[in-house]
Structure 1
């Protein structure tokens, strides 16, 4: 089937009869569309059209100026498939949150007419009952009961015609009520969506409301489309990311902000979004402080405030005046000696209390071990990003001088710095991953204690080899930057080779680390699934 599209012309609507033209769509110029007309190839093409890029991890950076073109592009695909107007096609897509996959699924389950009815769109526009009248003929509006010239009225696809003044009042009310994305016919129990071009024509006399409508229409693509996420930069850079393939990606906006597309948080692979949310909550609420309080204090049995014992006997008195036993936490009398408390005995509780204190101290030490190493690498990543920007500026300044080195001469160094940034981005979240995967109740039932110990040793071996190579490359890059006060085009060939070899070695170690995590750790889970952003090896590291 090859539907024919008709160019529509919606003229301005003004209150002046001589300037206002009747707003009405021509017929679609195609025969009725039935589900039989839509072949399996058509539906597969529609569902796959969002994923036509090469590779599993592809995305594009879009700005407000790009959104309308993307909406039109998606609308034309649906328009060609269903044989409807562009305005109707975009209304259908908006109903399905701009997801062509969801639309394709709906067309498989229901026929085209049912889909259009669900979306509030007419397959074919009904004829205006006043269409044969001359432009200066007077007609009565069913809303205000006033007589208006025929060319001062507007008819939607449902065929209901009212005067332009009533349409504008209705549209203003709907926009003020926050329904700018779902403007429908005002006829009783009609519910047909108003066409985009007709709405634009009606709102030309209301520029403020036209802007609100356009903004709401464009923002629907950014806010409702599951393949689009706004850049989380603060302040917002005004851009968004649209993924073309797998949603598990960590795209980088042109403003420099990198984030996990699935959850919107900072990049955290090899942590899953769930693991990262646990770690983020723990570091945000500073639960390490609570671990310290649990390890070094006891709650007063009267006021429940934390009390720390810095020496002396086991008889402790809170500021509120309540005395209690440090071992068991029970309230006691004031009378006591160094080794006993009057009318109180808790020897059987001593071992359990000390065990709890020791456990809290071990938990705190373990948390601080992973937290400090995570923070060190995260801080180094921020510092190295800043140094990379400074290096680019230095190169730009040096290249302005005659005879200085150009960017092509040190492309290997720029690629090495990019590889270092990537490696830091892997190492930093690898510590929260280890903290939760090997010591949290989340996965205790998945592996035996022996398997957990073995898996942790294998992971830490790969992690330490990557970490040592990262620090080696960092030192080499620092040496290169110190020598970059360029007076000659000659560069230390041995240093260049060491940097390139280290970059390649880091990539190999990252690949092995991810292979271990994805296949031997996440891949062995039985009761739950785990998905992370896979590592994409870089090309041409040798330069």
Structure 2
């Protein structure tokens, strides 16, 4: 292979140990035995180079073109080769600039972009420009996070291959590095068995579904959506919950401007407002007249405060007749909001407790200072470390408990839901007992007593969390859960 055909992803030295680079093998792993590995960008580059080399020998084009073609088909070598064998003109029809005009053969002329007289270079489509304009164009596209860049002519769909991009950006190594980074990011994005941690490392799993993974930096997150661990609620329901919370906050913003979306605010809204029949914005009546105009700029709907009918049809006529259907709809709407608030307030309460309990980590550090003294008193090292583990268990179980209220909100009421309520209740009681024990006893001088108390309680809390999550997993496997969403 000539130097011109060298793949643009250079070897980068790092201290990462070697690994099996063929991520396609992950699909054949036993789903019951998850394999998780933490990889660097250098590792991913090696995987890409191997995949590119495999198809390059068949397609007989340079590595940069292979990279573009693989990216077009989500790095699925099988699909790419099927297309290649089906169509004799596959490469040409892919609209990639296989032969760009060589800059050494360029001639001086007026650049159509900047109107300066300079050597003009371009692609096989014969759209030319000076090198400075090509550099500016490519830099702009790379800054827009694009790694599949078309010719700068507005009506041309020809894709620029990688070696030509490097040639035009040869004086700007920073932009070239950014382009290389984009191609790796694109590979990770299209691979169902890879996800990126916030620290920049890549986590590879033999499972592509939503589950908890732990990066080498210690970060725990959902493999599917990248959010913090949110067991037992799935990614779809979590997104619905987040949208609903945003919707409620927007809905109440006009009536409760300056208030937070806490329990007191919602209770005030429920007691003092009604929903606009058209846009469902909460409205407070601020005068004696029952002719109400919605203050939403996009609505301005007029209605009667008493019967909620549109004012153009209602007018100043009497509305003393009870309409059971309309009243039921309004009651049901408010009842659903009350139900949402029940779960929302408990979710937020556990979220707040999770934040406040972070101070326990500082107390554990204070206890650690006494380790040497404690060992001299006959307390073993493992018992001392268990204090930190107890705080970790509390944090993990509190977070699980927080998300159980989202799970319960969308859960249809049946026998399985009743069993879930029981497991949730047992976990909640155990978590509160452990939290109270740690907060009340952590500063005690008798650390023997503290260690003895926390060991049993921590193990029980961890056990109750396992029981709840096992029940949820079993229900999912048996398709026993029914959601009202």
> How high is the TM-score relative to the length of structure 1?
0.59
Pairwise CA RMSD: 5.4
CA contact (8 A) 1:250 1:258 kept: yes
Q: Does 1:374 align with 2:354?
A: no
Answering whether residue 417 of structure 2 is matched by residue 456 of structure 1, we say yes
Aligned residues: 421
1:103 pairs, out of 69, 73, 77, with 77
Change (3 A) 1:103 1:120: farther
The alpha-carbon deviation at position 458 of structure 1 amounts to 2.2
Question: Match of 1:498?
Answer: 456
TM-score, normalisation: structure 2: 0.65
CA displacement 1:413-457 (0-9 Å, x = unmatched): 33333333222222212112221233xxxxxxxxxxxxx343332
Q: Deviations over 1:15-46 (max 9, x none)?
A: xxxxxxxxx459xxxxxxxxxxxxxxxxxx67
Structure 2 distance, partners of 1:458, 1:286, is 30
The equivalences for 1:282-321 within 5 A come to: 282-286=244-248, 289=252, 296-298=272-274, 306-308=283-285, 317=290
Residues 358 and 69 of structure 1: CA distance in aligned 2, closer, same or farther (over 3 Å): closer
Q: Which has the higher contact order (CA 8 A, sep 6+)?
A: 1
Structure 2 equivalent of residue 272 of structure 1 = 234
**Distance change (3 Å), C-alpha of 1:266 and 1:325:** same
Q: Which residue of 2 aligns with 1:416?
A: 390
User: Structure 1's 465 and 114: CA in aligned 2 closer, same or farther, altered over 3 A?
Assistant: farther
Work out the CA distance in 2 between the residues paired with 1:109 and 1:300.
56
- Write the distance in 2 (CA, Å) between the matches of 1:317 and 1:370: 34
* Deviation sequence 1:311-333 (CA, Å, 0-9, x none): xxxx954588x99672565769x
Secondary structure, counterpart of 1:285 in structure 2: helix
Bigger radius of gyration, 1 or 2? Answer: 1
CA distance in 1, matches of 2:159, 2:77: 19
State the distance in 2 between where 1:81 and 1:214 align. Answer: 24
Q: How far, CA to CA, are the matches of 2:304 and 2:480 in structure 1?
A: 51
Alignment of 1:309-458 (within 5 A): 317=290, 326-327=306-307, 344=318, 346-349=320-323, 351-352=324-325, 354-384=327-357, 386-387=358-359, 389-391=361-363, 393-394=365-366, 397-398=369-370, 408-438=382-412, 452-458=413-419
2:204 equivalent among 239, 243, 247: 243
Separation (CA, whole Å) in 2 of partners of 1:308 and 1:129: 73
Match of 1:508 among 438, 462, 466: 466
Per the TM alignment, residue 473 of structure 1 is displaced from its structure 2 partner at its CA by 2.9
SS of the aligned residue for 2:362 comes to helix
Partner of residue 17, structure 2: none
User: What is the alpha-carbon distance in structure 2 between the residues aligned to residue 406 and residue 141 of structure 1?
Assistant: 78
SS in 1 for 2:141: coil
- Listed as ranges, the matches of 1:204-283 within 5 Å are 204=170, 206=171, 209-223=172-186, 225-227=189-191, 229=195, 231=197, 239=200, 241-247=202-208, 248-251=210-213, 258-283=220-245
Deviation at 1:363, TM superposition (A): 2.5
Partners of 2:360 and 2:439 within 8 A in 1? no
Give the distance between the partners of 2:371 and 2:61, measured in 1 at CA: 52
Q: Partners of 1:192 and 1:357 in 2: how far apart?
A: 57
Is residue 473–residue 502 contact of structure 1 (8 Å, CA) maintained in 2?
Answer: no
Distance in structure 2 (CA, Å) of the matches to 1:432 and 1:262 = 18
> Alpha-carbon deviation of 1:402?
9.6
Q: Is the 8 A contact 1:269 1:429 kept in 2?
A: yes
- Alpha-carbon distance in structure 2 between the residues aligned to 1:260 and 1:58: 15
CA distance in 2, matches of 1:91, 1:389: 53
Q: Does residue 92 of the first structure (1) align with residue 94 of the second (2)?
A: no
Q: Check if 1:465 corresponds to 2:426.
A: yes
Q: Which runs of 5+ in 2 are unaligned?
A: 7-21, 110-118, 256-265, 294-301
Q: What CA distance in whole angstroms lies between the structure 1 residues aligned with 2:157 and 2:150? A: 8
Cα distance in structure 1, aligned partners of 2:166 and 2:317: 87
TM-fit CA distance, 1:269: 3.0
Superposed displacement of residue 477, structure 1:
3.7
